[in-house]
Structure 1
Amino acid sequence: MFTRVITALIAVAVFIPLIWIGSWPLVIGMAVLAVIGLSEFLHMKKIKLISFPSVFSLTSVFIMVLSVYFPLLSAVDVFSRIIVLTMVLLFLYSLAFLKIKTKDIAEIILMMIYIGIGFYALVALRVTNFSLLALILLVIWATDSGAYLIGRKIGKTKLAPMISPNKTVEGALGGTVLASVLAFIYLLYFPQSQSLFSTFFLMVVISVTGQIGDLLESKLKREYDTKDSGNILPGHGGILDRFDSLLLVLNVLFILGVV
């Protein structure tokens, strides 16, 4: 428990200043996290990091995050070209190295897109609306903390026992209630639009979406029979473990055109 708390404090001490500073330090930092996150997935798949599929996909996800500051191309232009290029080159590579299967290529590209867009969206949101990003982070962290604490105290009804046995319905509801209360107070002082209700409703949706993202990460780890995605954060696991809720939320915001 002590290790977990110390790691969390160090992570917050690094992450919060990066968010506050923004600009290139944040872009580089999030691009590095995207690379680490994808490398964790490649490790789960037992694909060597010193190999063409790994090196090329890691380079691609790095560029996807950096594209937020590309002046001549839109993100969609960059993403689409990187995705197609990665797909074609990995298919060609698989012809020479039969050990790489078509499903491996599909899974690599899927996670590259998911992680790349997630961290890109975080940086893009920081550029366009720092206040909204702060609110989203507050909602995600409050949901996680509330679900953990309330689930431990009164949780009895299993939420998804086949995916994550420790999560409970009571914890999930408690996390969303706590996040909703804090979001409402935040919006009273820092309104994001003319309609407080619409933004508040979006935050409730984000709280629920974040918990679904947590379940998705748990499902991924079960499929690959691993406890944590990595060990870069002692007591917490890997980058995918810590950003599981936020990654799905950011992908959804990207789809909605918020970023």
Structure 2
Amino acid sequence: MKQRIVTGIVAGLGFFIMLYLGGYWYAGLIAALALVGYAEFLRMNGLNSNKVIEIIGYAGVLALLYDWQGDVMTSGYLIWVLMFLFLAGTVLSKNKTTIDHVATAFLGMVYVGVGFHYMIETRAIADNGLFWTLLIFLCIWTTDSGAYFTGSKFGKTPLWPTISPKKSVEGALGGTVLSVIVALGFAWLRPELLGYGQAVIVGIVIAIVGQMGDLIQSAYKRVKGIKDSGAILPGHGGVLDRTDSWLIVFPFLHMLSLLPQA
């Protein structure tokens, strides 16, 4: 427990400093997290020694992080080219790298690359990127904490027992309520940026989608028979364990046009 607390404080402090600084500091941190997260994904699937997949996958994650420039067509072309390179790898390796290998690696690349891309995109929102990024992170973390404590106190109805036996419907609802309260607090602080009605919608979306992101990672680890995606954060597991909600929430909010454009 002591190790978990110390790691949480140190990692949290470093993260908030980089988030506050923004620019290349924050983007560099997110890029590092994305590369470590993709390494965890490859290792979970036994693909971490496949050089064809590693070269294309890591390059693809970095390309997805930075090369979109807000152009949907360009991003579509980029994803297609990366898919082609993965498929070409099956031919060039004479099927030592199989279609199953590249399909899994491609899925992980998009999951990690696009998810972390939108974290950078959110921080880059003109003038108010820090406001929106903090709003999202605090709502995610409040949802997690609210669901845990509400579920511990009042939880009776299993939410999804085959995936995560300890989660309850009552906990999920408690986390959602607290997420909305946090979003309303941000609306109160900066009403010119966030209306109360929009705050309620944002808080609900973050809570629901964030908890789904957590369940997705839980389901995946259960299939693989592992507890944590990695061990880079003592007492907290790996990068994917800590960012499972982030990777789903940030893209979702942008795709629903609930955030301003960068």
Matched, 1:23 2:23: yes
81 and 183 in structure 1: CA distance in 2 versus 1, 3 angstrom threshold: same
Report whether the alignment pairs 1:121 with 2:126. no
Unaligned regions of 5+ residues in structure 2, if any?
none
Q: Secondary structure at 2:166's aligned position in 1?
A: strand
Q: CA 1:247–1:226 in 2, change beyond 3 Å: closer, same or farther?
A: same
| AA at the equivalent of 2:149 | L
Distance 2:54 2:78 in 1: 14
Q: Which moved more, 1:237-246 or 1:220-229?
A: 220-229
Residue from 53, 75, 79 that aligns with 2:75? 79
Task: Quote the offset at 1:13 in angstroms.
Answer: 0.8
Q: 1:140 to 1:99 in 2, by over 3 A?
A: same
Amino acid in the other structure paired with 2:233:
L
Aligned to 2:151: 151
Cα distance between partner residues in 2 of 1:138 and 1:177: 13
Question: Any conservation in 1 of the 2:151–2:172 contact (CA below 8 Å)?
Answer: yes
Specify the SS of the correspondent of 2:124: helix
Partner amino acid for 2:119? L
Give the TM-score normalised by structure 2.
0.90
Report the AA paired with residue 86 of structure 2. L
Distance 2:48 2:189 in 1: 49
Distance in 2, Cα, partners of 1:144 & 1:18: 22
Structure 1, unaligned runs of 5 or more: none
| Pairs aligned (count) | 255
Query: Are 2:183 and 2:202, in contact at CA under 8 Å, matched by a contact in 1?
Result: no
| 1:204-242 alpha-carbon deviations (Å, 9 max, x no partner) | 111111011100111111222211111111111111110
* Alpha carbons 2:87, 2:102 under 8 Å: kept: yes
Contact 2:186 2:194 in 1 (8 A): no
The equivalent of 1:217 in structure 2 is: 217
The whole-number CA distance in structure 1 between the counterparts of 2:57 and 2:78 is 9
In the alignment, the residues of structure 2 paired with residue 235 and residue 153 of structure 1 have an alpha-carbon distance, to the nearest angstrom, of 24
**Which stretch shows the higher mean deviation, 170-179 or 12-21?**
170-179
Deviations 1:89-140 (A, max 9, x none): 2212212242432232222112211211111111111110321111111100
Change (3 A) 1:75 1:31: farther
Q: Following the alignment from structure 1 to structure 2, what is the Cα–Cα distance between the partners of residues 216 and 192? A: 35
Q: Which residue of 2 aligns with 1:105?
A: 102
- The one-letter code matched in structure 1 to 2:83 is M
After superposition, give the CA deviation of every residue in 1:69-101 in whole Å (9 maximum; x if it has no partner).
xxxx54535533432222222212212242432
Distance 1:116 1:80 in 2: 13
Paired position in structure 1 for 2:52: 52
Q: Post-superposition shift, 1:50?
A: 5.7
RMSD: 1.9
SS in 2 for 1:55: helix
State the distance in 2 between where 1:201 and 1:213 align: 18
Question: How many Å separate the matches in 2 of 1:163 and 1:92?
Answer: 36
Would the aligned equivalents of 1:32 and 1:62 in 2 still touch at CA under 8 Å? Answer: no
Percent identical residues: 36
* Change in CA separation of 1:256 and 1:222 when aligned onto 2, cut-off 3 Å: same
CA distance, structure 2, for counterparts of residue 148 and residue 132 of structure 1: 24
Q: Distance in 1 between matches of 2:80 and 2:52?
A: 16
Q: Does residue 228 of structure 2 align to residue 239 of structure 1?
A: no
